[in-house]
Amino acid sequence: MRVEMLRLMVNPKYGTQPEGSIVDMDDDDAERRIAAGECRPLEEPRKKRGGRPAKTATPPPPAPIDGPVAVEDMTVDQLKIYAADHDIDLGDARLKDEIRATVAAELERRRDEDEGTGD
């Protein structure tokens, strides 16, 4: 399925794709990324077995974070946006707890680094 990226994607299968780039993806990958708000479809999905078209509903983008929100209180989408906005590599983290732990560990590492240079 052909999609337009709504945010930066770094993926071993599809490479680094900036916001606005057009990518041909496997239908399953595209549907998962569309559901996560990472991209939007540019064509109708191919029909799956049973003759039904694939889901095309795109959820609304996650609400912006207004004011300070603790990492522990962020949704998965908010965590992913926060990580992208703050250049935090999520590596293989996919589950909420893994993403949250990766973000928290990087923030702690950066804080420790900042405190070490201020002495």
Does a structural domain hold residue 105? yes
What percent of the chain has a predicted confidence (pLDDT) above 90? 11
Q: How many domains does the chain have?
A: 2
- Contact, 75 vs 66, CB < 8 A? no
Q: Give the structural domain span for 28.
A: 2-41
Give me the percent of the chain exceeding a pLDDT of 70.
77
Cβ atoms 37, 59 nearer than 8 A? yes
* pLDDT of amino acid 68: 67
The answer to whether residue 75 sits within a structural domain is yes
Residue 102 has pLDDT above 90, yes or no: yes
In a domain, 87, yes or no: yes
- Kindly state the average pLDDT of the residues 86-110: 90
pLDDT at residue 39 is higher than 70: yes
Strand pairing class (2-5; 15-17): unpaired
Q: Is residue 7 situated within a structural domain?
A: yes
Rounded to whole angstroms, the Cα distance separating 85 from 63 reads 15
Looking at the domain assignment, is residue 59 inside a domain?
Answer: no
Q: Give CA–CA dist 76/94, Å, rounded.
A: 9
Position 51 in a domain? no
In this structure, of 40-44, 62-66, 74-78, the range with the lowest mean pLDDT score is: 62-66
Does residue 79 sit within a domain?
yes
65 in any annotated domain: no
Amino acid at 76: V
